[in-house]
Amino acid sequence: MDSDRVKSVVIVGGGTAGWMTAAGLCATLQSQGLSITLIESAAIGTVGVGEATLPHIRFFNQRLGIDEAELMKATKATFKLGIEFKDWGKIGDSYIHPFGNFGEDIARVGFHHFVSRAAQQGLDIHMDKWSLPVMAARHGKFQLPHPDPNNILSSFGFAYQFDASLYAKFLRSFCEKRGIKRIEGRITDVNLRSEDGFISSVDLENGSSIEADIFIDCSGFRGLLIEQALETGYKDWTNFLPCDRAVTAACEHEGPSLPYTTATAKSAGWQWRIPLQHRTGNGYVYCSDHISDDEAAASMLADLEGEQRTEPKTLRFKTGQRNKSWHKNCIAIGLSGGFLEPLESTGIFLIQEAITNFIEMFPTKDCPQIDQDEYNRIMDLNFERVRDFLLLHYVATTRDDSPFWRHIRDMDLPESLTYKMELFKSSGRIVSYELGAFKDPSWLAVYYGQGIIPRAYDPVADHIPLESLPQQLGKMEHEVAQAVASMSRHDDYIRRYCNAA
Ligand SMILES: Cc1cc2nc3c(=O)[nH]c(=O)nc-3n(C[C@H](O)[C@H](O)[C@H](O)COP(=O)(O)OP(=O)(O)OC[C@H]3O[C@@H](n4cnc5c(N)ncnc54)[C@H](O)[C@@H]3O)c2cc1C
């Protein structure tokens, strides 16, 4: 019935989450008569971080009809082929978790089973050489994947390293051109309906009141609607992911901009380096029980690759997830819905998942409980799977060289992660799933990269004669090396494709 139809949505917040949500709704539901209003306060501002992304963001932008080169130019973006992890398995280690596979299946048996077999024979199993995106990253190479899926140069994905506040600005202009209403002002009160506790309106500092059928909370860590008004509660996961602060600063480039992010494990957390076209973003994510803010800032600054460009800024957070991402007529998207720390760049991915799922399950005005439950089930799975994957990086290690690493070593793990790790250690098998950011190749990259080698492998891998194994692996290595040699230098490619200068 028309009277049940949602006619108006108010989005509270104009950070990355707010403008991505506005753009997503605008592209899909505005033509059906949905009125979309976004309220933000310049005086409060945004969190102002979030520079590394996952390949999924490309599909989000494609669905909006955004031209990639134009977007990259506007956000001063570089290409990202993966993340280099330094000092995680043990001090001195380095591996890249790429957006792509390692090697190719042989006789329909997963490549990694042959790697495990090779490891048992004492062969060199450093995985880099069998991955095109890893080798391209290591050599500072990039080009768009080849359209022919049979060409080895098609065998990778990529994401962006960009200025997230410029991305929000870009999407704001996208939305405003399409008639989305933006209101500047601070919300002072949230009004609830007495009969069912749904949000009826929000009051602004200037005395006006804005009503809507649905409210989307993109107000950041404070959770203005979902928590302050609706008291939905928070699952605190600091017992699993104990880092609770980050100190950030930008610096000049040293040399060409690299097509990958770096995450270096440190004594009380880890430090990121994200090269954009015009600067490099840096941040030390740490656990405040194990290092002071001043020490963390000094450590972060000591590890900058070039001249410091901005003053250090400290951010506090609590890792976890809101008890319900959707409660009554309020959906929490972005930091208001939860935060799992920036390792593996999942913040924007989780925003995208929230928007896509909400649009797919767009409700009637009464927001049926069963719709809320299903949406929350999907978002819970997304958060839990990301949490387990992040945690794997911390626990797949022999590091015990500081109180922080000893604390991690002694922590209890979620059962879901223990199960995944035990299965892999015993048989080399990965717990597979459809929903979630990280699939089998990602788990493999971290397991092998951090020294977890399974005790057994698929017995079918024994069907290849042992003598031919080095030859088969060598052939793949050679193909990867040749393909990488043919690629452009990352900087040259950016200059041609999306130069922001
Ligand atoms: C240290 C750190 C590093 C990160 N790195 C990455 C990364 O590399 N990759 C990634 O994908 N993600 C990353 N993230 C996550 C990413 O930053 C966020 O997911 C993203 O910025 C979304 O933030 P937001 O829009 O939810 O909140 P915010 O940016 O905080 O925006 C909140 C909005 O709400 C408005 N608001 C609040 N209160 C009111 C009020 N009373 N009245 C009116 N308006 C109000 C504010 O004005 C603002 O517009 C990182 C996060 C942190 C903390």
The strand pair at 214-217 and 8-12 is best described as: parallel
| Cα separation, 145 vs 243, whole angstroms | 36
Sign of CA dihedral 395, 401, 407, 409: positive
Q: Given a cut of 90, is residue 299 above it in pLDDT?
A: yes
Q: What is the DSSP letter of 256?
A: S
Q: How much distance in Å is there from the Cα of 173 to the middle of ligand 1?
A: 18
Whether residue 109 has its Cβ less than 6 Å from ligand 1:
no
- pLDDT averaged over every residue in the chain: 95
Catalytic hit among 80, 129, 328, 420: 80
Dihedral over Cα of 380, 384, 385, 386: its sign: positive
Percent of the chain with pLDDT over 90: 86
Residue 187 CB less than 6 A away from ligand 1: yes
Query: Is residue 51 lining ligand 1, measured as CB closer than 6 Å?
Result: yes
The verdict on the CB of residue 183 being under 6 Å from ligand 1 is no
Residue in the block written with tokens 């041609």: 496
Please report the atom of ligand 1 found closest to the CA of residue 45.
47
Nearest to 64 by CA among 21, 11, 10, 16: 21
Q: Which domains does the chain have, with CATH numbers?
A: 2-51+163-238+319-367 (3.50.50.60)
| Residue 49, ligand 1, Cβ within 6 A | yes
**What pLDDT does 59 receive?**
96
Q: Which of 18-27, 118-127, 193-202, 306-315 has the lowest mean pLDDT?
A: 118-127
- Beta carbons of 306 and 254 less than 8 angstroms apart: yes
Ligand 1 close to Cβ of residue 286 (< 6 A): no
Residue 1: its pLDDT value, please?
66
Question: What does the alpha-carbon distance between residue 476 and residue 472 come to, in Å, rounded to a whole number?
Answer: 7
> DSSP per residue over 44-78, as a string?
T-------B--THHHHHHHHHT--HHHHHHHTT-E
* C-beta 283 within 6 A of ligand 1: yes
| Three-class secondary structure of residue 346 per DSSP | coil
In angstroms, what is the span from residue 165 Cα to ligand 1's centroid?
10
Tell which one of 219, 262, 341 to mutate to probe ligand 1, the residue whose CB is within 8 A of the most ligand atoms. 219
Instruction: State which ligand 1 atom lies nearest to the alpha carbon of 18.
Output: 25
How far is it, in rounded angstroms, from Cα 133 to Cα 159?
12
**Bridge-based pairing state of the strands 181-184 and 35-40:** parallel
Reply yes or no on whether the pLDDT at 125 is more than 70.
yes
Measure the CA–CA gap between 332 and 219, rounded to whole angstroms: 9
CA 98 to chain centre: 13
- Rounded to 10 deg, the angle between the 369-395 and 415-427 helix axes is 50
CA of 98 to the centre of ligand 1 (A): 26
d(CA 222, CA 322) in angstroms, rounded, equals 11
Distances in whole angstroms, Cα of residue 334 to Cα of each of 49, 67, 204, 339, 451: 12, 24, 22, 8, 33
Least confident stretch, 1-10, 228-237, 289-298, 350-359: 1-10
Q: Which residues of 222-252 are buried (b: 16+ CB within 10 A; e: fewer)?
A: ebbbbbebbebeeeebeebbbbbbbbbbbbe
The Cα-based distances of 139 to 85, 133, 157, 258 in angstroms read: 16, 10, 17, 9
Q: Is there a contact between 488 and 140 (Cβ–Cβ < 8 Å)?
A: no
- What is residue 117's predicted lDDT score, i.e. its pLDDT? 85
- Statement: residue 114 has pLDDT above 70: yes
Ligand 1 centre distance from Cα of residue 332 (Å): 12
Q: Please compute the mean of the pLDDT values over residues 230-238 and round it to a whole number.
A: 98
Report how far ligand 1's centroid is from the alpha carbon of 85 (Å). 25
Q: Is 80 a catalytic residue?
A: yes
Q: For a pocket test of ligand 1, which of 10, 40, 161, 318 has the largest count of ligand atoms closer than 8 A to its C-beta?
A: 40
Name beta bridge partners: 331. Answer: 216, 326
Helix 468-485 vs helix 111-120: crossing angle, to nearest 10: 120
Beta strands in 267-357 (DSSP E): 269-275, 280-286, 313-316, 320-322, 326-327, 330-332, 338-339
- For the chain, report the end-to-end CA distance as a whole number of angstroms: 53
Task: Give 40's pLDDT tier (boundaries 50, 70, 90).
Answer: very high
Regarding the beta carbon of 74 and ligand 1, being less than 6 Å apart is answered: no
Whole-number Cα distances in Å, 379 to 12, 285, 382, 385, 432: 20, 25, 5, 10, 18
d(CA 345, CA 341): 8
pTM for the whole thing?
0.96
Pocket of ligand 1 contains residue 19 by CB under 6 Å:
no
pLDDT tens sequence across 468-494 = 877 888 899 999 999 999 999 999 999
